[in-house]
């Protein structure tokens, strides 16, 4: 067995020193913090990605440099496993430990222990594909990452500036190339061709779809949405707006999926929406999608991840039934505590519903347990997974009537239009547009599937968010002690009240969610719980919520 290339690592590691007094943590979506302090993390992640690839016999590992919905000065990095899924959870702690080694000597010692403990055969080849979003800090951070990839002797492939879901797609496409599970051509063009071809088949013969306004959050989604618009042509005319990827400070600023979801209002748009016109927002790396429209009175209506889950699950259910496959393919839903109570009630009356902690990895794994698993976070992050068995059924099933045959073909194309590796705003958008076209639904008809309970999400800045520990899929706090009983006491005073508190894994805040039957009560409950959290954990009165 060969050993670590210590000299190569040492000389490059010295150029990427870890800032002292900073503790890094691999959280909900990898490492995420201010871009200016991430240099050492990027270098070390490059090495870790190489080691992960060696451990998996040379399979290609993905690295995405992005801070998604976070403000522009933030940046981040996350690893993508060979099938395009999130990094295996047990490696997150290793990533955190390596990122926090104080200096080059400690880092080398930690690497050595790590490689020995995990029995990584260092003589194996290693391949890493990486991409970044449009943040100004991106190029320097990618350079640090490349140093790490070079130091461990891995082969790097630069996928350039693209969305997070495209990077996930590429990883799976590269690793399945030439196998029976081939996922598609391993290029951004291949991704666009695959999605647009499936979409065109799905909407063939349907009435002309009205144009769709796409708020790109002034992020990398603008690039891919513009390219996708070319591929779609007149099958779906996209109107990409908020595409200023080089204007300083524009990214995610008063626009994008996170803004719309948390503010529950229209983003800043350069055009005026007409009543009933559909529009949607992507987030900064285009892995989240939120739809909305204005009604005749100009009132804003949001169609979030919960509504997307309801729409798509119902459609898949109808297609499996029409194809005669409903007894063979079981559809299930995965949500988090943020799912609106209205959606959970509606869905659980129709399908099995599972609640898991926040973070795509949790939802993805739970969805894999269904034949077709529909998972969406309320924030618009989600996708649909077809299990290998259900894909096999779809490819071998012999329909007995023309109607069954049509439904079967729709199911097959539906599975193609969906990026099954991870939540993907553009792929989800095509999925939604397919269902709306098939059902001849307007935004309003889609919205009327069920009524959302009024809700409010509030951020609380506390001294140390790490003291907050939760249980029951983040619905209850177990630490700091005593707070949960006080939250319960508050919740009981509100009709239809529900609230929970959890530490964010992507921002240095604690999040408070509350819902109630009446809007003013939902707002009041959220702010009272936020105030409680703040007071109990000793925050600065100047920053008290409300």
Report CA 263 to chain centroid distance, whole Å.
Answer: 19
**Shortest distance (Å) from residue 360 CB to ligand G16:** 5
82 annotated to bind ligand: no
Let me know: does 353 contact 333? Beta carbons within 8 Å. yes
The one segment of 116-124, 166-174, 210-218, 280-288 that binds ligand G16 by CB under 6 A: 280-288
Residue 334 contacts ligand G16 per CB under 6 A = no
Q: Which is nearer to ligand G16, 383 or 434 (CB)?
A: 383
505 annotated to bind ligand: yes
Let me know: does 502 contact 510? Beta carbons within 8 Å. yes
Q: Which residues pair with 460 in a beta bridge?
A: 510
The one segment of 124-132, 309-317, 408-416, 503-511 that binds ligand G16 by CB under 6 A: 503-511
Number of residues near ligand G16 (by CB under 6 A): 18
Residue 358 contacts ligand G16 per CB under 6 A = yes
407 annotated to bind ligand: no
Q: How many CB atoms lie within 10 A of CB 489?
A: 10
285 annotated to bind ligand: yes
Which of 316, 361, 354 has its CA nearest to residue 168? 361
Cα 147 to Cα 139: distance, rounded to the nearest angstrom: 13
Q: Which is nearer to ligand G16, 377 or 433 (CB)?
A: 377
Q: Which is nearer to ligand G16, 397 or 468 (CB)?
A: 468
- Order across the sheet with 289-294: list the strands: 238-241, 212-215, 279-282, 289-294, 300-303
502 annotated to bind ligand: yes
Residue 72 contacts ligand G16 per CB under 6 A = no
Q: What is the secondary structure of 116-165 as a DSSP string?
A: HHTT--TTS--EEEEEE-S-TTHHHHHHHHHHHHHHTT-EEEEEEE--HH
Q: How many CB atoms lie within 10 A of CB 19?
A: 12
Which residue in the list 2, 11, 20, 68 is annotated as catalytic? 68
297 annotated to bind ligand: no
Q: Can you give the length of the chain in residues? A: 546
Residues 6+ apart with CB under 8 A from 234: 208
Cα 185 to Cα 188: distance, rounded to the nearest angstrom: 8
- The SS3 of residue 465 is helix
Residue 511 contacts ligand G16 per CB under 6 A = yes
**Shortest distance (Å) from residue 89 CB to ligand G16:** 14
Q: Which is nearer to ligand G16, 88 or 318 (CB)?
A: 88
Cα 62 to Cα 100: distance, rounded to the nearest angstrom: 22
Residue 377 contacts ligand G16 per CB under 6 A = yes
Residue 252 contacts ligand G16 per CB under 6 A = no
Q: Which is nearer to ligand G16, 442 or 537 (CB)?
A: 537
Q: Token pair of 28, please?
A: 């909900």
Cα 76 to Cα 510: distance, rounded to the nearest angstrom: 19
Task: Tell which one of 307, 364, 381, 498 touches ligand G16 (CB under 6 A).
Answer: 381
Residue 413 contacts ligand G16 per CB under 6 A = no
Task: Tell which one of 147, 507, 515, 524 touches ligand G16 (CB under 6 A).
Answer: 507
Q: What share of the chain is helix, strand, coil (3-state, %, to 5)?
A: 40, 20, 40
Q: What is the secondary structure of 183-252 as a DSSP string?
A: -S-SSHHHHHHHHHHHHHHHHTTSPPPPPEEEE-TTSTHHHHHHHHHHHHGGGS-EEEE---TTSTT-TT
Q: Which is nearer to ligand G16, 223 or 511 (CB)?
A: 511
Residue 339 contacts ligand G16 per CB under 6 A = no
Cα 489 to Cα 70: distance, rounded to the nearest angstrom: 33
Residue 283 contacts ligand G16 per CB under 6 A = yes
Residue 360 contacts ligand G16 per CB under 6 A = yes
Residue 505 contacts ligand G16 per CB under 6 A = yes
Let me know: does 130 contact 62? Beta carbons within 8 Å. yes
Site mask for ligand G16 (CB under 6 A), range 26-55, x = bound: --xx--------------------------
Cα 496 to Cα 317: distance, rounded to the nearest angstrom: 30
Report CA 132 to chain centroid distance, whole Å.
Answer: 15
287 annotated to bind ligand: yes
Task: Tell which one of 359, 443, 531, 545 touches ligand G16 (CB under 6 A).
Answer: 359
The one segment of 40-48, 173-181, 214-222, 355-363 that binds ligand G16 by CB under 6 A: 355-363
Task: Tell which one of 40, 420, 427, 506 touches ligand G16 (CB under 6 A).
Answer: 506
Residue 379 contacts ligand G16 per CB under 6 A = yes
Task: Tell which one of 16, 52, 69, 94 touches ligand G16 (CB under 6 A).
Answer: 69
**Shortest distance (Å) from residue 507 CB to ligand G16:** 5
Task: Tell which one of 194, 278, 288, 465 touches ligand G16 (CB under 6 A).
Answer: 288
- Is 11 a catalytic site residue? no
Catalytic residues: 68
Binding residues for Mg(2+): 68, 283, 285, 287
Binding residues: 68, 283, 285, 287, 377-379, 502-506, 511
Binding residues for substrate: 377-379, 502-506, 511
Applying CB under 6 A, the residues found at the interface with ligand G16 are 28-29, 68-69, 283, 287-288, 358-360, 377, 379, 381, 504-507, 511
């Amino acid at each position: 067995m060969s050993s670590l290339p210590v000299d190569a690592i040492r000389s490059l590691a010295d150029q990427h020193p870890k800032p002292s007094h900073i503790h890094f943590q691999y959280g909900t979506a990898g490492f995420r913090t201010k871009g200016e302090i991430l240099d050492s993390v990027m270098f070390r992640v490059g090495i870790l990605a190489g080691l992960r690839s060696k451990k998996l016999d040379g399979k290609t590992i993905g690295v995405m440099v992005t801070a998604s919905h976070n403000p522009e000065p933030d940046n981040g990095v996350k690893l993508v496993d060979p099938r395009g899924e999130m990094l295996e959870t047990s490696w997150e702690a290793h990533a955190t430990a390596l990122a926090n080694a104080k200096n080059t000597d400690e880092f080398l010692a930690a690497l050595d222990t790590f490689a020995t403990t995990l029995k990584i055969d260092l003589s194996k080849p290693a391949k890493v594909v990486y991409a970044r979003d449009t943040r100004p800090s991106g190029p320097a951070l990618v350079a640090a990452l490349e140093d790490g990839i070079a130091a461990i002797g891995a082969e790097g492939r630069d996928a350039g500036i693209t969305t997070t879901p495209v990077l996930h797609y590429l990883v799976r496409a590269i690793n399945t190339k030439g196998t029976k599970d081939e996922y598609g051509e391993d290029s951004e063009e291949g991704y666009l061709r695959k999605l647009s071809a499936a979409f065109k088949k799905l909407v063939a013969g349907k009435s002309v779809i009205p144009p769709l306004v796409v708020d790109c959050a002034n992020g990398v989604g603008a690039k891919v949405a513009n390219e996708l618009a070319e591929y779609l042509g007149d099958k779906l005319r996209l109107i990409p707006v908020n595409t200023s990827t080089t204007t300083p400070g524009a990214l995610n600023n008063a626009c994008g999926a996170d803004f719309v979801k948390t503010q529950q209002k229209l983003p800043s748009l350069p055009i005026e929406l007409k009543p009933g016109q559909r529009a949607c927002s992507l987030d900064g790396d285009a892995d989240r999608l939120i739809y909305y429209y204005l009604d005749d009175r100009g009132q804003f209506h949001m169609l979030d991840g919960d509504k997307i889950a309801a729409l798509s699950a119902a459609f898949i259910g109808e297609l499996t039934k029409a194809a005669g496959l409903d007894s063979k393919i079981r559809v299930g839903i995965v949500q988090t505590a943020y799912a609106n109570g209205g959606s959970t009630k509606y869905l659980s009356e129709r399908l099995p519903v599972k609640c898991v902690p926040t973070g795509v990895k949790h939802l993805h794994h739970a969805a894999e347990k269904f034949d077709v698993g529909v998972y969406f976070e309320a924030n618009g992050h989600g996708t649909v997974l077809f299990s290998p068995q259900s894909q096999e059924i779809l490819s071998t099933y012999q329909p007995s009537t023309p109607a069954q045959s049509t439904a079967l073909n729709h199911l097959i194309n539906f599975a193609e239009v969906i990026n099954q590796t991870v939540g993907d705003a553009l792929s989800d958008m095509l999925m939604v547009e397919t269902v709306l076209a098939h059902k001849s639904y307007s935004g309003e008809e889609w919205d009327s599937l069920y009524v959302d309970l009024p809700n409010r999400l509030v951020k609380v800045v506390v001294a140390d968010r790490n003291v907050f520990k939760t249980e029951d899929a983040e619905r209850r706090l177990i630490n700091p002690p005593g707070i949960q009983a006080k939250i319960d006491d508050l919740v009981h005073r509100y009709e239809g009240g529900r609230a929970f508190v959890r530490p964010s894994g992507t921002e240095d805040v604690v999040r408070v969610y509350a819902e109630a039957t009446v809007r003013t009560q939902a707002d009041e409950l959220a702010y009272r719980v936020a105030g409680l959290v703040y007071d109990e954990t000793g925050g600065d009165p100047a920053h008290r919520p409300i």
